[in-house]
Chains A and B, each alone.
Chain A
Amino acid sequence: MNRQTTGGARVANHPLTQLVLSRMREFWRQPAAVFWVYGFPLLMMVALGTAFRNRPVDKIAVTVVAGSQAEAIQKVLQQDERFVGPGGDVEILSPEICRQRLRTGKTLLIVSTDSQSGSNFTFTYDPERPGSVMARDVINNLLQTAAGRRDPATVEDITVREPGGRYIDFLVPGLLGMGLMGGGMWGVGFAIVNLRIRKLLKRYLATPMKRSHFLGSMMISRLLFTVTEVLILVLAARWLFGVVNHGSFVAAAVLVILGACQFGGIGLLVASRAETTETVSGLMNLVMLPMWIGSGVFYSIERFPASLQTVLNLLPLTPLIHSLRSVMQDGVSLLALLPEIGLISLWTVVTFALAMRWFRWQ
């Protein structure tokens, strides 16, 4: 045997290598785990990216109430192909049916005439529904123009379509963060509890295996899985939706690694004492659910009241997604994200320290 193979064999037979290899093999041989870690975020991206894609012309559902000028209004609206009814064309219907459609969300706006107060047109709509408000203004303009209004100022439209501002561009950094969270929970937390239940942790402890090798192997395999996970999502987003990173690649990579470490620590903490899969599943959901809803994965947390935002901003996933978005969408530098990075690091250090303190091997 020559020297090189001896060196290679030493690396291959190192406990750290063997522990990492075992983790990877177990993962790849578990189709359900592969789906939840790799397939699920991808599926989510395709589904949401398709459902909320930017369409050239948004259809606006409108209904006209039967009345003296109903046909005239219908004619004006039919000139613009944006206006539709549930069946295709804008329809004229009785007031009761119109009301029912508005209530069930099948129409955004009802236009009627013959008002008792003497006005020419009446718009009935829900002012809290964004589409309704827009429909009211657009239709108001059309009807005013048709009635003979002349605009005093001339207007020119220049339309720009650039990737970066679409929903999918907003969504991909959110899904990346969500994937890092799920990976840390399942890949570290669940995996450790599973080993504890099988008494394998105890069996390992009965050997000369170093505890640091075991925990190190957990973190190394997590980082290796993360690389694949992130690459799959980012490349798919690029090929399918043309999502590009507007910021520095290094900055994005640093954030991904910090995120993986942070959720590795949280996964470890969740697993430090749990002795059954039920306990750890419950704990994992308890930790993840608030962040799925409140950390801005699918929509901006600015939709929540300001007081609640203060709390949500402290959750581990919020600063991660915020900084990923800042880098990928706006090209912000890491320096400008120091508060977020500080918060992520704090979560990492605190959860690791607590996990080390509470960790139970058997």
Chain B
Amino acid sequence: METIAIRCRELVKTYAGRPPVEAVRGIDMAVAAGECFGVLGPNGAGKTTTIEILEGLLVATSGEVEILGMQWRQSPDAIREAIGISLQETRFSDKLSVLETLTLFRSFYRRGIAVADAVQRVGLEDKLHAWVKDLSGGQRQRLAVAAAIVGDPRLLFLDEPTTGLDPQSRRQLWEIIRQYGAQGRSVLLTTHYMEEAEQLCDRVAIIDQGEIIALGSPRELITRLGGEHVVEFTLAPQTAGADRTENAWAQFAHVTSSVYEDGCHRLTVTEPHLVIPQILGHLEQRGGQLASLTTRHARLEDVFVQLTGRHLEESPPNT
């Protein structure tokens, strides 16, 4: 069995128009067999375009794609037999039951798992005979995953599998995906939830405006940020204006970066227990007062903010 599940080189997708839209601008990546790989980025970053090229649903403007050692142009049918897909938004026929929908999808594959098995893996046994229109959002998303795994794929593509779901449904889906990955199968998922990527993915690629801006395991990326902790504080209104927005904190020892945003100072630090006394001392000297202070572990979100100056769940600046 091949050791690389997905490999793509210099992937480019340009949509004709005036001006042409460069949705994907040269993406290189390799997903190892058995790996859960996350493509993380804000809406409009090019995640769906990238995954749909890999899924064979879009044709790249240029670049190479290899799926499980095969190429779309040469063996499309063999690739389709070996992969499972959940699209960003598919609305299955409202008036077919879970069982009927999955039996239909199962019939498309030469080999696969029993429909009952797929239903059990996503925990929809109680809804076997329920029509799709009577399922909740989370149940529909689980049905989509069941339809993706019913052909027993070696590689699973999930495009934003938990977008719009409540936290409980989201956790249920994570568990299903985790169990699938535990069988040594490869998973590629896109998401704009950093927490999802941290929970599920062995490695993530952070995409912004059609390019990979960071690639590595969630822990690596956070470490690369320079500090694993974040100290956030706001100052009381009576503090002098210059002091409140002062951005001199980055010069303190053990502080690797500092951002001031919406009245909040956010410092990435290596040693919070040494940094906090410095902050308090500095403020006392100047007569400033703290309104709030929190400290937490750094997250992928902080990596994205540091790299782009924007938050993940915002739109890119010029759209």
Give chain A's interface residues, CB within 8 Å of chain B: 13-15, 17-19, 21-22, 25-26, 29-30, 198-200, 202-209, 362
Contacts and interface: CB of A to CB of B under 8 A. Distances in A.
Interface stretch (B22-30, B98-106, B199-207, B282-290): B98-106
B152 to A, nearest CB: 12
A209 B105 CA distance: 9
Contacts of A198: 90-93
Contacts of B87: 199, 202-203, 206
Given A14-B107, A208-B77, A200 B92 contact: yes
Contacts of B109: 207-208
Nearest to A361: B57
B110 interface: yes
A321 to B, nearest CB: 33
B95 A208 contact: no
Interface string B62-96: 00000000000000010011000101011111011
Among A199, A206, A209, A362: residue with most chain B CB under 10 A: A206
B93 A200 contact: yes
Nearest to B147: A203
B56 interface: yes
B108 A26 contact: no
Contacts of A362: 57
Given A22-B96, A22-B100, A203 B90 contact: yes
A15 B104 CA distance: 7
Nearest to B86: A203
A38 B108 CA distance: 32
B57 A19 contact: no
26 contacts: A13-B106, A15-B107, A15-B108, A17-B107, A19-B104, A21-B100, A21-B104, A22-B93, A26-B93, A198-B90, A198-B92, A199-B89, A199-B90, A202-B87, A202-B90, A206-B56, A206-B57, A206-B80, A207-B80, A207-B105, A207-B151, A208-B80, A208-B109, A208-B110, A208-B151, A362-B57
Interface string B127-139: 0000100000000
Given A199-B87, A202-B87, A207 B93 contact: no
Contacts of A13: 103, 106-107
B91 A199 contact: yes
Most buried by A among B106, B107, B109: B107
**Cβ-closest 7 pairs across A and B:** A29-B95, A18-B107, A198-B91, A207-B108, A208-B80, A209-B108, A206-B85
Contacts of A205: 57
B105 A25 contact: no
Contacts of A25: 95-96, 100
B155 to A, nearest CB: 12
Nearest to B133: A29
Interface of B: 55-57, 77, 80-81, 85, 87, 89-93, 95-96, 100, 103-110, 131, 147, 151
A22 B108 CA distance: 13
B88 to A, nearest CB: 8
Contacts, number: 69
A19 B96 CA distance: 12
Given A199-B89, A206-B87, A208-B80, A26 B107 contact: no
A206 B92 contact: no
Contacts of A208: 77, 80-81, 108-110, 151
A260 to B, nearest CB: 23
Given A202-B87, A203-B90, A206-B80, 6 more contacts: A198-B91, A198-B92, A206-B55, A206-B56, A208-B110, A362-B57
Contacts of B95: 25-26, 29-30
Contacts of A200: 90-93
A18 B77 CA distance: 20
Nearest to B85: A206
B123 to A, nearest CB: 21
Contacts of A207: 80, 85, 105, 108-109, 151
B150 to A, nearest CB: 9
Nearest to A207: B108
A245 B80 CA distance: 51
Contacts of B81: 208
Contacts of A199: 87, 89-91
Contacts of B104: 18-19, 21-22
A298 to B, nearest CB: 34
A304 B93 CA distance: 45
Contacts of B108: 15, 204, 207-209
A208 B96 CA distance: 21
Nearest to B92: A200
Nearest to A209: B108
A145 B151 CA distance: 91
Nearest to B76: A208
Contacts of A22: 93, 96, 100, 104
A199 to B, nearest CB: 5
A13 B77 CA distance: 19
A18 B91 contact: no
A203 B85 contact: yes
A80 B113 CA distance: 83
Nearest to B56: A206
A92 to B, nearest CB: 65
Contacts of B147: 203
A21 B80 CA distance: 23
A357 B122 CA distance: 39
A237 B109 CA distance: 46
A26 B104 CA distance: 13
A206 B57 CA distance: 7
A18 B103 CA distance: 8
Residue among A22, A199, A208, A209 with the most chain B CB within 10 A?
A208
